[in-house]
Amino acid sequence: MSSRLVAGLLATIAAGSIVTGTLLASRWPVPATEWMFIVLGLVLPALGWLLAFRRPEVRYGWLLLAGGSCLGLGTLGVGLSVRGGYPELLVTLLGCMSAGFYGLTWIFVPLLFPDGRLPSRRWRPVAWISGVAVAAHSAGVAWIGISPYGMVDVSPAAALLAGGGQFVTWIMAAIVFCGLVVRWRRSERAERGQYAWMVGGVAATMAGGVLVFSSGMGVFGLAGVMMLIGALPAAIGVALVRHRLLDIRIRIRGSRLLLMFDVRPTVGEVLSDLGTALDDAPEPVELLGRLAAAVRTGLEVRWAAVALADGRRVVAGKEEGAAVLAVPVRGGLGQIECGPPLVTGSLPGSSPRSLTREDRRLLEALAVPAGLAIQSAGLVTRLVNAQEAERRRIERNIHDGVQQQLVALIAGLELARATGAGPDMFAHLREQARQTLADLRELAAGIHPSALSQGGLVEAVEERCSRLPVQTTVTVPPSLRSRRFTDEIEGAMYFTVSEAVANALKHAAAATIDVHLSQADGRLCATVADDGTGFDPSATDRRGLATLSDRLDALGGGLTVDSSPGKGTRLTAWVPADE
């Protein structure tokens, strides 16, 4: 069942029980005090439903719903008892739910404020003792209610259980209240107003309980009941309105008092919207722009920026002033920065919003997809640059090589026709044409060798290495010779091996080169080792290898280089490939 459906069901049960129980226990016409009880009683389940509906992952809303349900069921039990004619066991069990309401509102609502979690591990014993005490009090009340109808009189034991549980509940409530006061004094500025109202609400609730138990159902007792059920929900409601507790704000539109209850999107909703936005972004700059816009919208700040490690910045909104919150992106790729919160219309007297620990948690959650987006943008940029560089290389090779040979061949043919050249001239032109054809084939092999298309990876690597001017050994297991892979995999591995052997010849002055192809554990691997001069990978520009690494990364693979001066180089490349 959906959590939102459960929240609505619990809120409906609580509200219906409060209304029904109060009306059953009243005489007609219903007094104003009873209507006031209904109105105040409905606030708690309403607040619980609001939070549980919008923030189902936060425990606090469910806690308020539990308290409202206990209040409603207890009120229903009182109403059934007044009307009479209902099973005594049912009336008793419903009536004892009021003990759960007291325990929840006096202890757990302030203890777990504001996000439904304990302030620290040290409060665990208090929570356990309080839970046992509330359960004992409820059980004792139920025992007292049903004991006259049992076979044995157990009222003294039931009274001890109920009284002991109630006494411990009071003690735990006092301890929790003192802890709440300490947290209020130590809280940050943005949260101090929230804690102040909670302290006031808990104090009024406990004062109401004292009035109820000491004054009976007189005037002071009725006032105590109203304080007992209404003070804490009212305090939470004021914290929502004035201090944006749970990220709920109230706005005023136009000249009318139009209250707009708005809840900031959850972390899951922001991440879901961000994922859709990033999927639709065609360009790297737009990718980072949508990321910054998602951060700005999610945190409701004036501006947000994605700052990359290379100094580039993409800003959403008008950047004014210094950043008030910054979170680094995983991998040292940069950081996400946020400006001050937006100033929105609110009720008079509302305090300006400040960024809180919840905002930092949201920003830290967004830092994970931010790192992936930055990596993706960088990968796309490098791949585009690599494609452009390759296009220019092919264009340069054609212009400087084959094109000049064709021009010379055409000129030779024109000269032969004009002068009536003999067989020697035509033989020379025929040889020149053959050389041009060979150069074209060599150029095409650099783009995509025919051996790779026709014979596969192993044949193409062996053909490439057979033309090298140094001793080169290619080792391949027999099972791999007949295997074919996708064009992307074969192309990536072939050009990685080609680049590695070319580097060994041009830069390492290698005398021997060993190439090893293998497939194991779902990976196709290629290793190229040479006995050349070697180098320090950390101190050398690896732009050529970076292009290959990006190509392998795009396939889910990787590239590692193991080298040191005077000890040769070992390059290992791999891509996922089913066996």
- Write down the pLDDT at residue 148: 57
Whole-number Å distance between alpha carbons of 241 and 247: 10
- Write down the pLDDT at residue 530: 93
Write out pLDDT tens, residues 310-365. 777 888 888 888 888 888 876 667 888 888 887 544 444 444 556 777 777 777 77
Cβ atoms < 10 Å from Cβ of 357: 11
Starting at the earlier edge strand, list the strands of the sheet with 558-563.
471-475, 512-520, 523-530, 569-576, 558-563
The arithmetic mean of pLDDT across residues 185-189, rounded, is 79
CB 231 within 8 A of CB 204: yes
Dihedral sign computed on CA atoms, order 405, 408, 413, 419: negative
Tokens of 521: 């554990």
User: Looking at the predicted structure, is the pLDDT value of residue 152 above 60?
Assistant: no
What are the φ and ψ backbone dihedral angles of 334, each rounded to 5 degrees?
A: 155, -155
Dihedral sign computed on CA atoms, order 441, 442, 445, 451: positive
User: Looking at the predicted structure, is the pLDDT value of residue 63 above 80?
Assistant: yes
- Write down the pLDDT at residue 151: 39
Dihedral sign computed on CA atoms, order 97, 101, 103, 108: positive
Peptide bond into 423 cis (omega under 30): no
Whole-number Å distance between alpha carbons of 378 and 373: 8
pLDDT-derived band at 256, boundaries 50, 70, 90? very low
Whole-number Å distance between alpha carbons of 446 and 495: 9
What are the φ and ψ backbone dihedral angles of 347, each rounded to 5 degrees?
A: -70, 150
* Coil, strand or helix at 541: coil
- Write down the pLDDT at residue 12: 93
- Write down the pLDDT at residue 433: 76
More confident call, 252 vs 523: 523
pLDDT-derived band at 527, boundaries 50, 70, 90? very high
Write out pLDDT tens, residues 488-503. 888 888 888 888 888 8
- The most confident of 121-130, 146-155, 299-308, 394-403, by mean pLDDT: 121-130
Q: Domain 457-576, CATH 3.30.565.10 — does that match?
A: yes
User: Looking at the predicted structure, is the pLDDT value of residue 452 above 50?
Assistant: yes
More confident call, 142 vs 154: 142
- The most confident of 143-147, 496-500, 560-564, by mean pLDDT: 560-564
Distance in Å from the first CA to the final CA of the chain: 43
Q: Bridge partners of 571?
A: 528, 561
Class of the domain covering 262-379 = alpha beta
The arithmetic mean of pLDDT across residues 424-435, rounded, is 74
Tokens of 320: 């004014």
Write out pLDDT tens, residues 15-47. 999 999 889 888 778 888 888 889 988 999 998
- Write down the pLDDT at residue 1: 54
More confident call, 62 vs 435: 62
Tokens of 54: 């919008």
- Write down the pLDDT at residue 476: 94
The arithmetic mean of pLDDT across residues 554-572, rounded, is 89
Lookup result for tokens 């889910």: 556
User: Looking at the predicted structure, is the pLDDT value of residue 257 above 60?
Assistant: no
Whole-number Å distance between alpha carbons of 547 and 555: 13
User: Looking at the predicted structure, is the pLDDT value of residue 558 above 50?
Assistant: yes
Whole-number Å distance between alpha carbons of 579 and 577: 6
Lookup result for tokens 């790729």: 333
What are the φ and ψ backbone dihedral angles of 315, each rounded to 5 degrees?
A: -115, 135
Q: At what angle do helices 543-554 and 487-506 cross, to 10 degrees?
A: 160
Percentage with pLDDT > 90 across the chain? 16
- Write down the pLDDT at residue 261: 46
Cα Rg of the chain, angstroms: 39
Q: Bridge partners of 479?
A: none
More confident call, 538 vs 171: 171
Length of the chain: 579
> CA angle, 288 as apex, 267 and 263 as ends, to 5°?
25
CB 464 within 8 A of CB 449: yes
Average of per-residue pLDDT values in the chain: 78
Tokens of 367: 């830092």
The full set of domain ranges for the chain reads 1-95, 117-186, 190-248, 262-379, 383-445, 457-576
Whole-number Å distance between alpha carbons of 350 and 167: 39
Whole-number Å distance between alpha carbons of 369 and 374: 9
More confident call, 293 vs 123: 123
User: Looking at the predicted structure, is the pLDDT value of residue 145 above 80?
Assistant: no
The arithmetic mean of pLDDT across residues 96-108, rounded, is 87
Write out pLDDT tens, residues 201-239. 899 988 888 888 777 667 777 888 888 888 888 888 787
- Write down the pLDDT at residue 65: 92
More confident call, 259 vs 38: 38
Tokens of 222: 């009725």
Write out pLDDT tens, residues 67-81. 999 999 988 988 888
- Write down the pLDDT at residue 42: 92
Name residue 457's amino acid: L
Whole-number Å distance between alpha carbons of 171 and 106: 10
- CA-nearest of 526, 529, 507 to 517 is 526
More confident call, 267 vs 462: 462
pTM of the model: 0.50
- Write down the pLDDT at residue 349: 47
- Write down the pLDDT at residue 374: 67
pLDDT-derived band at 92, boundaries 50, 70, 90? confident
> CA angle, 201 as apex, 200 and 205 as ends, to 5°?
120
Whole-number Å distance between alpha carbons of 247 and 240: 8
Whole-number Å distance between alpha carbons of 124 and 8: 30
> Which contiguous run of DSSP H or E holds residue 16?
helix 3-25
CB 228 within 8 A of CB 205: yes
DSSP class per residue in 242-279: HH-GGGEEEE--TTS---EEEEPPPHHHHHHHHHHHHH
Tokens of 236: 């939470």
